[in-house]
C-alpha cells in the first residue's frame, strides 16, 4: 500500500480498486453489500477504503442507480411550532442515516408553486412529504406524471396516502371535557370558516353540545374573518376573546378555541382584562404544540411526531412496493389536561408533552 493519498484529491472507486488489486466492480459490490464477494476480498477492500477515508459519491451513485436516497419535505413555514414537531418525527424515522431530508419551506399556503418547480426537477429526491396545505391541481398532475411517491400529512387527497387528524371528533371531545367540568354555557372561538379544519372543528363543537344536551347559541360562537393564515393566529384569538369578555354577564364560562395559537391570544386578552383562567374563563385549545405546555393550556393533542414518523415509513413502503393500495390514516386527538380549564391537575410545568413529543425511543 502506498503513502497516504494527497488529501485534496478526492478518492474514487478507482483508487480503492487499484490499491486493493481488484476491479472497480468488486469495490462497488463491497459497498453495496452484494453477497458474491469473498470474505477475504471484502475485508481487503474495506481496509483500503477505510485507510483512504473513501466514501461513495452520492451523486454518482444516484445517477447510476436512478435513486437519490433523499426525501423532499414541503412545509408551510408559518405553522412554526406545529411543523417543528412533525419534523422531529420525520428525522427520527430517517435516523438510519441513509436518507437525506430536503427541506422546502413555503411562506404561504397558497404559494406552493416554487415547490412545484422543485418537484419537476425529477432526480433530486425519491419521495415527497407534503404538509398541511391544499394540494394545487397542477402539483397533483405533476407528481402523478413524474410518479414520485407523495405522502400527505395533515392534509387530504383521494389519490395519495395521508395522515391526518379527526378534527370533528377532537372538537367534540374538547367540548365534552368542558361540559364534564360543569360548564353549561360553552362558547367557541373559531378560525376563518373558509378553511376546512375550521369548519370541522366547529362541527365537532356542535356535536359535542348536542350530546351534552345543550342548545346551540350562535351568540357565543365567534369566528375570524381574517384571510391571514385562515385566522389561525394569536391576533384573532386576542380580538375575539375580547368580544367575549365584553359580553358581561352573557358571556360563556368556557370557550373551546380552535387552535393553540389562537388560545394563546385569548389567554392574553383575559389577562389584559384583569381576569383569569380558569377562574373567570375555562379555555381549551387544539393541537398541543409546544407552546401549549409553556402557557399551561389544556388542549387536544395531535400526535404530530408520530405522524411525521409514520409518513416517512409509509413513503419507504411505497418506494419498496409502488402499487400498494392507498391508505388514509386519521388519528383521534387526545385530551391533555393542563391548567387553563382548571381541572384538579397540578399546574407545575409537567413534562408530559415534552417527553411524549420528543421521545426518540
Partner DNA sequence: CTGAAAGCGCTAACAC
Partner DNA sequence: GTGTTAGCGCTTTCAG
The residue from 93, 254, 264, 315 that contacts a second copy (CB under 8 A) is 264
**Residue number with CB closer to DNA (21 or 219):** 21
Joined together, the cell numbers standing for residue 9 give 484529491
Which entry of a second copy, DNA, none binds 71, CB below 5 to 8 A by partner kind? none
Q: Tell me the window of 16-24, 76-84, 192-200, 251-259 that interacts with a second copy (CB under 8 A).
A: 76-84
Residue 6 has φ and ψ, to the nearest 5°, of -60, 120
Nearest alpha-carbon partner for 262 in 294, 239, 243, 278: 239
Burial label for 271, CB within 10 Å (0-12, 13-18, 19+), is: exposed
Nearer to DNA, 10 or 182 (CB): 10
Contacts by 110-118 with C-beta closer than 8 Å and gap 24+? 110/134, 112/74, 112/136, 112/139, 115/74, 115/139, 116/142, 118/72, 118/74
Q: How many CB atoms lie within 10 A of CB 88?
A: 18
**What's the first-to-final CA gap in the chain, in angstroms?**
43
Burial of 89 (0-12, 13-18, 19+ CB in 10 A): buried
Binding mask 15-44 for a second copy (x = CB under 8 A): ------------------------------
Q: How far is the CB of 146 from a second copy (least distance, A)?
A: 9
Least Å distance, CB 264 to a second copy, is: 4
Q: Report yes or no: 335 and 301 within 8 Å, Cβ to Cβ.
A: yes
**Nearest alpha-carbon partner for 132 in 160, 102, 162:** 162
Binding partner of 348, given a second copy, DNA, none, CB within 5-8 angstroms per partner class: a second copy
Residues that bind DNA (CB under 7 A): 10, 12-14, 21-26, 28-29, 31-32, 35-38, 40-42, 54-57, 60-61, 63-66, 123
295 is an interface residue for a second copy by CB under 8 A: yes
Contact residues: a second copy, CB under 8 A: 7-8, 10, 53, 55-60, 62-63, 68, 70, 73, 77-78, 80-81, 84, 87-88, 91-92, 95, 97, 100-105, 107, 114, 117-118, 120-124, 145, 147, 234-235, 238, 261, 264-265, 268, 271-272, 290-291, 293-296, 347-349, 351, 358, 360
Amino acid at each position: 500500500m502506498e503513502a497516504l493519498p494527497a488529501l485534496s484529491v478526492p478518492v474514487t472507486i478507482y483508487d480503492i480498486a487499484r490499491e486493493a488489486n481488484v476491479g472497480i466492480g468488486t469495490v462497488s459490490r463491497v459497498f453495496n453489500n452484494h453477497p458474491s464477494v469473498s470474505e477475504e476480498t471484502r475485508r481487503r477492500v474495506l481496509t483500503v477504503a477505510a485507510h483512504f477515508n473513501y466514501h461513495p459519491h452520492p451523486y454518482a451513485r444516484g445517477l447510476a442507480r436512478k435513486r437519490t436516497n433523499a426525501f423532499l419535505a414541503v412545509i408551510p413555514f408559518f405553522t412554526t411550532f406545529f411543523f417543528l414537531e412533525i419534523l422531529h418525527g420525520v428525522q427520527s424515522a430517517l435516523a438510519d442515516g441513509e436518507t437525506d431530508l430536503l427541506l422546502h419551506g413555503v411562506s404561504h399556503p397558497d404559494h406552493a408553486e416554487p415547490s412545484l418547480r422543485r418537484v419537476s426537477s425529477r432526480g433530486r429526491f425519491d419521495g415527497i412529504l407534503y404538509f398541511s396545505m391544499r394540494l394545487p391541481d397542477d402539483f397533483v398532475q405533476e407528481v402523478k406524471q413524474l410518479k414520485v411517491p407523495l405522502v400527505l400529512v395533515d392534509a387530504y387527497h383521494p389519490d395519495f396516502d395521508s395522515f391526518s387528524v379527526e378534527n370533528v371528533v377532537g372538537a367534540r371531545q374538547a367540548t365534552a371535557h368542558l361540559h364534564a367540568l360543569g360548564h353549561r354555557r360553552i362558547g367557541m372561538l373559531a378560525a376563518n370558516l373558509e378553511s376546512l379544519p375550521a369548519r370541522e372543528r366547529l362541527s365537532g363543537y356542535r356535536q359535542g353540545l348536542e350530546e351534552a344536551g345543550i342548545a346551540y347559541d350562535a351568540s357565543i360562537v365567534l369566528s375570524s374573518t381574517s384571510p391571514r393564515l385562515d385566522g389561525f393566529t394569536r391576533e384573532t384569538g386576542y380580538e375575539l376573546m375580547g368580544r367575549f369578555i365584553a359580553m358581561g354577564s352573557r358571556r360563556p364560562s368556557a370557550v373551546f378555541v380552535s387552535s393553540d395559537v389562537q388560545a394563546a391570544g385569548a389567554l392574553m386578552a383575559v389577562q389584559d382584562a384583569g381576569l383569569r383562567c380558569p377562574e373567570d374563563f375555562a379555555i381549551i385549545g387544539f393541537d398541543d404544540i409546544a407552546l401549549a405546555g409553556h402557557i399551561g393550556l389544556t388542549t387536544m393533542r395531535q400526535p404530530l411526531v408520530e405522524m411525521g414518523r409514520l409518513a416517512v415509513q409509509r413513503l419507504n413502503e411505497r418506494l419498496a412496493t409502488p402499487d400498494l393500495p392507498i391508505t388514509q390514516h386519521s388519528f383521534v386527538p387526545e385530551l391533555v389536561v393542563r391548567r387553563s380549564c382548571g381541572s384538579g391537575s397540578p399546574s407545575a410545568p409537567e413534562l408530559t408533552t415534552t417527553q411524549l413529543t420528543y421521545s426518540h425511543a
